[in-house]
A and B are shown apart, each in its own frame.
Chain A
């Protein structure tokens, strides 16, 4: 087996969730340089919710988009600079155009898994500019395999050069990965990818299952630094892929060094699977909610697990962070 797997390192983007979007330009510079040395193909940078997302609703970034991207750009030459873009947060004129001018190479345009229609203009714009465009379906556990294929096919027609499904809630079991990745590989012309979260301790296993069933793109983060229980741990992923005979172009020793650097310079607390993370995964709640849920549960003296369960029942998706307070207030009323 010598199949090539494209690795997208989301440490400086998904990791942003884990520190309430407080990653500094200095930290970006240090990690980007380390990732570059390791031969990481794509280094994704920005606010956890992507370009243009810094806001009171989902959290204000320490640094603005321009600073983050310009800093990363300076330290990446062979590695491509990637961004996560959710139409609605990011507009073409205000956000995407300047980002491409700064030198972004790869744009991953994301939508909720049943709303691919919103990505048409952004994907088209990126392709028009000659940059690499991928489609991302977030919270993909909320849609059936056939719906995911239909939505992914739309993105393919809009110009996506690959489709990544995100297990944003860390809710997948390997059998779910098998079903959905197989359906996408069969239903699409373009490569398929998988972005894992570790709520149920399956992030690396699920990623490997994804490639066994035809995925060619995997996401990971140093030490699993990411929202909620974190992502597929990149250095572990690379080691396992190497052992399985896959080619990533990443130097294992250097990515181990990069993850050590990340632990020292970037990650205040290594992600662990806390009790509420397990409940969050079982309830299918967006991992990006964890900071907000922790804060609000403390503020209102509620059990975070109850909030996750209620959010799961309401099928809340990324971008609806303001509903967490509503849920908390409802729980207080019920508890009275």
Chain B
């Protein structure tokens, strides 16, 4: 059963990567991923595994995270790969990094908003200290070519009026709210990147992720699509909490992984790129789509504090910049993304 799930991922990587010749510059290079055992780290590992197997690129991967044992237990097929080295460390405690690192993907820090409101001090501290420590250590790497800082769309603040958010958008962040802690922490991290790029000439590219879906994303995470899929698989009513007209979009995991890898090579230092899908959908329609994907007729319940909403939340990126500059494309539409996520979740055990 698990083999089916792993094969599905390998096929996904193949489709997202296409012709890997454009990645030949990575041959023999070493990449460090902080927060390397999370959703981003697992997909980067899968993409590099695909590239190494297909093209004999001999890319080395360092995955740095606090809980390596969990990673070894969850994905032994990745943890045992010979080109992957696991480093058990909190990003905030980094001092010396392996000297052969050429690229860094700084993805440490949880996007789980339950943690943001439960442990806000820890969130601020981990983003500030983690980012500072990684960048400081990076200044001592002799062969460093690029750093990708994985930020968040949350830095844009609230969007009620634009159909999509471009990289120069600036919305309101309500500073006096606990759920703004993550956005503020990411803004601090982006500011640190600016300082290290300016003062130390570190070649830093910022990616601002929107929503993703796919294998390796826990269905118990507090995000609409995850919960809809989980409820649909369980065969219980799909519950839309809040305004069902809210608009979101979702990029599939392997596309995300490939786009990040491409940004290592094609991303321009100092630039900011949105990373996400432009295929917008309301939560109401998303729930119906998931039902259709499972060919099921689960009840869809709307649970909301208000009968009428005067505002609308739209979190959809304008991804034209990353598509043009990095020459990437979305290979999995939302229908494919949902159906492959469902299949993977059914076969993962």
Q: Give the interface segment out of A148-156, A240-248, A258-266.
A: A148-156
Q: B179 within 8 Å of A by Cβ?
A: yes
CB proximity to B under 8 Å, residues A119-167: 120, 124, 127-131, 150, 153-154, 156-159, 161-162
Interface SS majority for chain B? mixed
Whether the Cβ atoms of A157 and B241 lie closer than 8 Å is: no
Contact with B along A179-192 (1 / 0, CB 8 A): 00000111011111
Please provide the chain B residues from 287 to 320 with a CB less than 8 Å away from any CB of chain A in the complex: 303-307
B75 at the A/B interface (Cβ < 8 Å)?
no
A124 and B118 contacting across the interface, CB-CB below 8 Å: no
Task: Determine whether B243 belongs to the interface, using a CB cutoff of 8 Å to chain A.
Answer: yes
Identify which of B113, B230, B304 contacts A191 (C-beta below 8 A): B304
Q: Contacts of A186 on B, CB cut-off 8 Å?
A: 305
Q: Is there contact, CB below 8 Å, between A191 and B117? A: no
Contact between chains at B241 and A156 (CB < 8 Å): yes
How distant is B173 from chain A, measured CB to nearest CB, in Å? 16
Contact A117 B118 (CB under 8 A): yes
Q: CB distance B117 to A154 under 8 Å? A: yes
B169-180 Cβ-contact flags toward A at 8 Å (1 or 0): 000000001110
User: Residues of A contacting B76 with CB < 8 Å?
Assistant: none
Total CB contacts across the A-B interface at under 8 A: 64
What is the minimal beta-carbon distance from A163 to any residue of chain B, in angstroms? 9
B220 close to A191 (CB less than 8 A): no
A150 to B180, CA, bound (A): 12
Contact B178 A153 (CB under 8 A): yes
Across the interface, name the chain B residue whose C-beta is closest to A150: B178
Question: With A and B bound together, what is the CA distance between A55 and B179 in angstroms?
Answer: 38
* Chain B CB within 8 A of A214 CB: yes
CB of B195 closer than 8 Å to a CB of A: no
Let me know if B305 and A157 touch, CB within 8 A. Answer: no
Determine whether the beta carbon of A190 is less than 8 Å from that of B241.
yes
Q: Which residues of B contact A158 (CB under 8 A)?
A: 114, 222
Which residues 188-203 in A have Cβ within 8 Å of B in the complex? 188-192
Measured CB to CB, the residues of B under 8 A from A are 113-114, 117-118, 177-179, 220, 222, 227, 230-231, 234-236, 239, 241-243, 303-307
The 15 listed contacts between A and B (C-beta, < 8 Å) are A117-B118, A120-B118, A128-B230, A150-B117, A150-B177, A150-B178, A153-B179, A154-B118, A157-B117, A157-B222, A158-B222, A162-B303, A190-B241, A190-B303, A191-B305
